[in-house]
Structure 1
Amino acid sequence: MYYIYFSFIFILSGLMFVECKRQSLPKWWAAIVFAAPVTTPYFIFKSGKGNRLVLFLIFMVCFFIVTVGEIFIYSRMKATYKYDYLPPVTRQLIRYSEILKQTTQSLDKALIELEQQSKVQSNLYKLEQTIVFIGQLRQAMLDNQAAIKQMVEFVGHYRDLFTQKDLQWVYEIKKFYNNRIVIARFKSLENYLDNFETLLRFCYRNFDAITKSESTIHLKKYDEYYLRYRRAVDSHNRFNVKRIEFQNDFIKRYPETKAYLPAER
């Protein structure tokens, strides 16, 4: 804090001292400027120099930049060290919970976008885009799973502490993600993505043969992949409905956990 400010007033008072010495003005002006930089405009106009207005404007611009810079640095430092007064376990809990929240939200957004791209596309560019996006979604799933594992292990290790501090709801997050319905939903999502990507890649590699109906072998293979894809979609939808029902009931019992759970969709 005040890194820019102190540098600024040292330079400002130094310049004032040099100017006072050069023009035979009272040198204590520099001390006043050092103690209270806002008095600088007064001494600028009192000095009687011809370019007083220019100097005043330069001072105001510099003072504004310094003020904005200090506010920015302070806000960054405050955000960085806002949890320093808390015990290490609490800080770690906050960190893990924020990671879980962020990765869960990212995965939810990716799944919403996938729904918009879930139809088998009719041109190569769209097919390629969707294949690439599925890869990105898989990474979002991995990040979310890693965050869940991290949170679950941490909460399990400090369960007694959280119970003592009336933070039992934190442990409930572990119970949610360890529930067989939630686990089954994740597995069904992985199966859905596998089958969807397989179908898309087959269509991408054999686009002309499929769209122009040039090969009965390719069309038969397409029907096979599409049937697997539809089964995977139906299976995922069933598991997702169960997950939503379970999650809605879970949130009613433990509303504090809502921010750390998947979207209700």
Structure 2
Amino acid sequence: MYYIYFSFVFILSGWMLLECNRRSLPKWWAAIVFTSPVTTPYFIFKSRKGQRLTLLMIFLVCFSFVIASEIFIYSKMKTKYRYVHLPPVTRQLIRYSEILKQTTQNLDNYLVKLEQQSKVQSKVEKLEQTIIFIGELRHNMHDNQAAIKQMVEFVEKHRDFVTRKDLQWVYEIKRFYNNRIVIAHFKSLENYLDNFETLLRFCDQNFDAITKAESTIHLKNYDEYYLRYRRAVDSHNRFNVKRIEFQNDFIERYPEIKEYLPTKRQTEAFRLWE
């Protein structure tokens, strides 16, 4: 803390000392500037006849920058060390819960975008963009699943601590994500993405043959891939409805864990690619 401030004060008071030597002014001015930099404008106006406004503006800009920088650094350090007084296990729990919350939000946002992109237009560039997007979504799913696993394993490992601190909400997070309905929901989502990506890649690689109906074999294969995709969508929607019903009931009983669960923005059914 105050690294920038003290450096600025040293430079400022050093400059004032040089000015005092050059202009035969009292050297105690530099000491006052060192202890109270805000007095600098007074000494600038008292020692200078010309360039007063220029020097004053330079001082104000520099001083404002220093103060803003110190405030920013302080806020960052305060955030970084806000849990330093807590036991290591508590800090670990807080960190894991924040990671779970953030990865869940990220996945929700990507699923909303997927819903918007799932009705892909018959353009090659749209197919390629959606394939890339699915890859990014998979990465977010992996992060979210890793965060869930991390949280569940923490609860198992520190069961005594969780019980002693009466952290029932942590148990409920574990119980929610270990539920067979939620597990089936995530598996159906993976299956949906697999079939959607397979369909998109086939269409991308055989775009002309499909759109121009040049090959009956390609059209037949397209129909097969599309039927698999339709079944995957229907299956995911069924599991998603069950997950939502279970989640709504779960939140009614344990509202404090709502922010760690998938949001209701996932409730919209995925539209079919046609």
Q: Which structure 2 segments of 5+ residues have no match?
A: 268-274
Alignment-derived partner of residue 246 in structure 1: 246
The aligned residue for residue 271 of structure 2 is none
Tell me the TM-score normalised to structure 2 length. Answer: 0.93
Counterpart CA distance in 2 for 1:51 and 1:133 is 58
After the TM superposition, which parts of structure 1 deviate over 6 Å for at least 4 consecutive aligned residues? none
**Matched residue type, 1:125:** E
Structure-1 residue corresponding to 2:132 = 132
On the 8 A contact 1:16/1:30 being kept in 2, the answer is yes
Give CA-to-partner distance per residue, 1:37-91, whole Å, 9 cap, x none: 1111112222244332322222222211111111111111112112112211111
Displacement of 1:120: 4.7
Tell whether 2:9 aligns with 1:2.
no
Partner of 1:165: 165
Aligned residues between the structures:
265
For residues 204-260 of structure 1, the C-alpha deviation after alignment (integer angstroms, 9 at most, x for no partner) is 111111111122111111111111111111111000100000000111111111111
Q: Distance in 2 between matches of 1:129 and 1:24?
A: 72
Question: Residue in 2 aligned with 1:95?
Answer: 95
The 1-side partners of 2:15 and 2:224 are apart by: 82
Partner residue of 1:16?
Answer: 16
**Matches of 1:129 and 1:117 in 2, distance apart?**
9
In the other structure, the counterpart of 2:213 is 213
The equivalent of 1:66 in structure 2 is 66
Return the alpha-carbon distance in structure 2 between the equivalents of residues 58 and 111 of structure 1: 50
More displaced stretch, 39-48 vs 5-14:
39-48
Alignment-mate amino acid for residue 89 of structure 1: V
* CA RMSD in angstroms, aligned pairs only: 1.3
1:106 aligns with 2:106: yes
Q: Which residue of 1 aligns with 2:182?
A: 182
The aligned amino acid for 2:250 is F
Determine the C-alpha separation between the residues in 2 that align with 1:45 and 1:116: 63
Structure 2: distance between partners of 1:10 and 1:218: 77
TM-score normalised by length of structure 1 = 0.96
- Offset of 1:35 from its aligned partner? 0.9
Q: Distance in 2 between matches of 1:224 and 1:254?
A: 44
Shift in Å, 1:176 = 0.6
- Indicate how the Cα distance of structure 1 residues 49 and 108 shifts in structure 2: closer, same or farther if over 3 A, else same: same
Query: Could you give the per-residue CA deviations for residues 137-167 of structure 1, whole angstroms, max 9, x where no partner exists?
Result: 1111111111111111012211221222121
Residue 107 of structure 1 deviates from its aligned partner by 0.9
More divergent stretch after superposition (61-70 vs 232-241): 61-70
CA distance in structure 1 between the aligned counterparts of 2:254 and 2:220, rounded to whole angstroms: 50
CA distance in 2, matches of 1:198, 1:38: 67
Deviations 1:144-201 (A, max 9, x none): 1111111110122112212221211011111111100000111111111111111111
CA distance in 1, matches of 2:147, 2:242: 23
- For the residue of structure 1 that corresponds to 2:200, the secondary structure is helix
CA distance in 2 between counterparts of 1:208 and 1:200 reads: 14
| AA matched with 1:191 | N
Q: Which amino acid aligns with 1:212?
A: K
Q: Within 2, Cα distance between the matches of 1:45 and 1:77?
A: 37
Match of 1:260 in 2: 260
What's 2:153 paired with? 153
Report deviation, 1:93: 1.0
Aligned counterparts of 1:234 and 1:127: Cα–Cα separation in 2: 21
Larger RCO (alpha carbons 8 Å, 6+ apart): 2
Q: Which residue identity is paired with 1:115?
A: E
Of 151-160 and 244-253, deviating more is 151-160
| Residue of structure 1 equivalent to 2:272 | none
Output the amino acid matched with 1:168.
Q
Aligned to 1:203: 203
